[in-house]
Chain A
Amino acid sequence: MSVTSSKQKLNHRTPLARAGSIIVRLLLLLLFLLPIYLAVVSAFRPNGDIFRYGGTLAWQTFIPVPFTLVNFQEAWALPNFPIQIVNTAVLALVQATATVALALLAAFALARIRFRFRGLIFYLILITMFIPFEALAAPLFLIVKDLGQLNSFWGLLLPWIAAPIAIFILRQAIADIPASFDEAVMLDGGSLRHIFTVVIVPSVWPAMLTAWLTTFIFSWDSFLWPLIIIQDPAKQLAQVGIVSLINPNEVHYGTLFAASLIVTIPVVVMFLLLQRYYQEGTVASGLK
């Protein structure tokens, strides 16, 4: 039925409306895809060609002929680049997993256990979502310095693993499970741990995945924080490493984009595989 109704709608549209729709779609491709496409093309062409065709409008501006992988060899041979990719990946995996684990425990307490000040505590956690930490990087730096966590993996990880968004997503998901399930487990002589493992965790795994993915993307996006707390290039994250390659006088775009592509592909692939959960996560964090 839905198929026929949507077909009817299509038939109802005037040729003018249809042409308009096609033009809008082309503009959207131009606006959102072309900048990314050009960066990808530049990663696959000799640096000389970027300068030859970049400033003009030729078909070669958009098609990488001749095609080369030399930029990727150069990027991979950059000092510390491979280890920085590993650092970025390890941090994102550990951060996402630790965040979901902590958030699951906290969300379970906030959704299921009745205690004094529950609403207030939830509110105090939630409101930290709206504190602009990029602007508060200076005082956060002083705290992490006093804790002796500068230039360390712990310094990169610990400030972020108590994440209000993850707690919010999981609390809503847990609150949606009927409380009668808890009662049933209790009547069978089960404990809080049983409720958690038998009722809660198996039912909220989509929300766990959403929170995990959101955190993974957030972690992969880190820039200012590693820039200021990591001094050792071998401990640095890839984004900061790549930006440090930019020489304002002569930008070597080929290598830059090859390295950028290597850093971007894992997170974009993760997003494409799980994009349904990502969209639901953004929606959930706003509207429930």
Chain B
Amino acid sequence: MISGSVKKRRVRSPLTSARNAALLLLPTLLLIAIYKYGPIGQAVVASGQSFSVAGIPLGWVGLGNYERALADQVFLQSLGLTVAFAAIKIPVQLALGFSLAMFLFQSTKLNGFFRVIIITPAVTPIAIVGIIFLFLFDREVGLTNAVLTAFGTGRVGWLTEPHAAQFVVIFASIWRDAGFAMLFYLAGLTAIPQEVLEASRVDGANSWQRSTKILLPMLQRSTQLAAVSTTVAAFQYFAPIFVLTRGGPQNATNVAAYNIYQQAFVFYDQGFANAMAVVLLAVLVVVTAFELYLLRSRWEY
């Protein structure tokens, strides 16, 4: 179909030149190799070594660091906390994001204003979010205890009682990321043909039925993407914990990312920390694969 002469011209064209492509891609590929794939390789290598406090490798210890990690109660608990944290954050955040998207879908000025309000926490620097919640849940001057006091209940030590601290940390995380989930679903809704939305309305389906029975399956791809990116976010949740609880009280908020930070940069045990990082990465891969299987698309339009 394509004549030989056209093909010949294409062969000489700079648009098929591997050399040009290599030149354009070289800086990017170099940086990605060093700084994105590098840490995975480095984690595997470093997990087999022991390190001095100054971070100098002292020698090979085989699987010693993994044996320590898998026997370490605090680390195992931190893995469990991370998975539990993700297991709560993901459904709540996705449900909230979906409801917000449904509520604010029509593009009016007022809805635009509310969308901006809901995304603002997502662009507020993460450590500042931590400070905002430190104040909100402060035992003496926080608004939550002011409200509780007004209702005659005693003050709660939000950040000093294990379950309360876990609640605050999860709440801060969902508060910050709800806007992302909303945007994913808004994008998904925009892609649904208008007739489908109209037809379900004419059928007299009330809005709850409409959203769950008709729209949610069509938004499977949004759900998938939001779930996977929320999982990654949950696995690297760090700054608010650093600001609010430092992993406490009694390790109740000591998630894996924080635990690894402590081992590497507070106790300077790099070998141990790297073994933990490899285990955490493996858990993340398993969890993500499970999610993608669970949320596999059954619907094409």
Residues of A whose CB lies within 8 Å of any CB of B are: 6, 21, 24-25, 28-29, 31-36, 38-39, 42, 50-51, 54-57, 61, 102-103, 105-106, 108-110, 112-116, 118, 121, 124-125, 128, 130-143, 145, 147, 158-162, 164, 167, 182, 186, 191-192, 195, 217, 220-221, 223-224, 227-228, 239-240, 242-243, 246, 251, 253, 256-257, 260, 263-264, 267-268, 271-272, 275, 278-279, 282-283, 286-287
Contact = CB atoms under 8 A, between A and B. Distances in A.
B187 A268 contact: no
Interface string B25-66: 101111110111111101100100000000100000000000
A20 B184 CA distance: 25
Contacts of A125: 28-29, 32
A242 B127 contact: yes
B121 A135 contact: no
29 contacts: A35-B175, A39-B135, A54-B146, A55-B146, A55-B149, A108-B24, A109-B25, A113-B24, A115-B22, A121-B29, A132-B235, A133-B39, A135-B280, A137-B264, A139-B39, A143-B38, A162-B29, A191-B14, A217-B123, A221-B125, A223-B239, A228-B264, A260-B128, A267-B124, A271-B119, A282-B183, A286-B222, A286-B226, A287-B225
Contacts of B24: 105-106, 108-109, 113
Interface in B86-135: 100, 103, 106, 108, 114-121, 123-128, 130-135
Interface in B278-301: 280-281, 284, 288
Contacts of B205: none
Contact of A182 (B15, B100, B114, B237): B15
Given A36-B121, A113-B21, A239-B125, A224 B183 contact: no
Interface residues of B, number: 103
A272 B15 contact: no
A242 B187 contact: no
A62 B112 CA distance: 25
A50 B28 contact: no
Contacts of B37: 128
Nearest to A216: B123
Contacts of A42: 135
A59 to B, nearest CB: 13
Nearest to A220: B125
Nearest to A42: B135
A28 B36 contact: no
Contacts of A103: 28
Contact of B21 (A109, A217, A268): A109
Contacts of B22: 115
Contacts of B236: 132-135
B223 to A, nearest CB: 11
B70 interface: no
Given A32-B175, A55-B146, A243-B242, A283 B16 contact: no
